Amino acid sequence: MIVRSMVLAAALVLMGASSALAQVNEPPPAGAILDLNGQAIPHGAPMEYSVTFTAAVASTDVTLALREDPAFIGISDMSMVDDTTSSGNLLVDGDFSAGVYTDNGNAATPDGWEYANIYGASFGGVDDLSCPVAVHGTATSCWFDGAVQAYDAIDQFVATTVGQSYTISFWLTDDGGLTTFSDLSTNGDTTDTGGNGVDALVYAQAGLPSLPTVPEPNGISMLALGLLGIGALAFYRRKQVA
């Protein structure tokens, strides 16, 4: 058993195990201006959430990142307004009703937005023009997201005035049974839809938020583990023949 574990460990290194893998309870990116972690999850009637920030760049990348291990989140009527001028909605297609196109492999990306799924999470979000969950008011469309054990995201750049205040708002409802937002799965299931990680985060930065990375092993470590794996495999084969 020990030898087989050694072979597996060496093989993982040689295959590039240092890169991030989907569905392994990935934490959210840092730097969110709104994180629902620890708050109660609304079911049925949607709840409105909002956050105010001061622009630090002339072109702000507004990003919505989500995960929902066992079920799905519906986001509707997302807006961004200039608090100083009381502008209208600065977001393109904030109600997700304009249509879809293909971006980064997602054929249901809402027009005006870009899609990111760095970890390749299953059940990533889609622009649902006939949203199956209750949404705010008379809206029938929403961003419907069930990314498992990792976060996917949609984003768009908005022209902003440095130093000026802006407010981002959206309505959210969840069609699952969990009661509290959690940025990680804490029930022991960290690989599939049995986890209890559910969260929504908003970012307003110069670009997409940086995702956590796993440090890559140095060349010597990789070589040593590779040689160890080859030796262990040869020993294991000789033992099988004997």
pLDDT in tens, 42-56: 998 899 999 999 999
Q: What's the confidence (pLDDT) of residue 140? A: 81
Query: Residues 192-240: pLDDT tens digits?
Result: 999 999 999 999 999 999 866 544 444 444 444 444 444 443 433 333 3
Which residues is 200 bridged to in the sheet?
A: 66
**Tally of CB atoms within 10 A around 42:** 18
Of 14-18, 39-43, 129-133, where does mean pLDDT reach its minimum?
Answer: 14-18
Instruction: Report how far residue 81's alpha carbon sits from residue 94's, in angstroms, rounded to the nearest whole number.
Output: 11
**Is residue 9's pLDDT more than 80?**
no
The distance in angstroms from the start CA to the end CA of the chain is: 17
Tokens for 192?
Answer: 């599939």
Q: What is the DSSP letter of 180?
A: B
Q: What's the confidence (pLDDT) of residue 1? A: 35
**CB-based contacts of 113, cutoff 8 Å, min separation 6:** 92, 93, 103, 127, 154, 155, 156
**Is residue 33's pLDDT more than 80?**
yes
Alpha carbon separation from 105 to 33, 76, 114 (Å, rounded): 27, 22, 11
Q: What's the confidence (pLDDT) of residue 221? A: 45
Q: What's the confidence (pLDDT) of residue 242? A: 47
Tokens for 179?
Answer: 């009661």
More reliable by pLDDT, 212 or 184: 184
Q: What's the confidence (pLDDT) of residue 135? A: 74
**Is residue 151's pLDDT more than 60?**
yes
CA–chain centroid gap for 65, Å, is: 5
Instruction: Report how far residue 61's alpha carbon sits from residue 7's, in angstroms, rounded to the nearest whole number.
Output: 44
Q: What's the confidence (pLDDT) of residue 236? A: 35
Of 52-61, 106-115, 153-162, 221-230, where does mean pLDDT reach its minimum?
Answer: 221-230
Instruction: Report how far residue 169's alpha carbon sits from residue 110's, in angstroms, rounded to the nearest whole number.
Output: 18
Q: What's the confidence (pLDDT) of residue 138? A: 67
**Is residue 61's pLDDT more than 80?**
yes
Q: What's the confidence (pLDDT) of residue 229? A: 46
Query: What is the band of 95 on the pLDDT scale with cuts at 50, 70, 90?
Result: very high
CA dihedral (93, 94, 100, 101) in degrees, to 10, reads 80
Strands across the sheet with 126-128, in order? 47-54, 165-174, 73-82, 142-145, 126-128
**Is residue 38's pLDDT more than 80?**
yes
Instruction: Report how far residue 124's alpha carbon sits from residue 202's, in angstroms, rounded to the nearest whole number.
Output: 17
**Is residue 132's pLDDT more than 80?**
no
Tokens 């084969």 belong to residue: 237
Q: What average pLDDT is seen over the chain?
A: 83
Instruction: Report how far residue 65's alpha carbon sits from residue 72's, in angstroms, rounded to the nearest whole number.
Output: 13
- As a whole number, mean pLDDT of residues 155-164 equals 97
Q: What's the confidence (pLDDT) of residue 143? A: 97
- Portion of the chain with pLDDT greater than 90, in percent: 69
Instruction: Report how far residue 11's alpha carbon sits from residue 103's, in angstroms, rounded to the nearest whole number.
Output: 33
**Is residue 147's pLDDT more than 70?**
yes
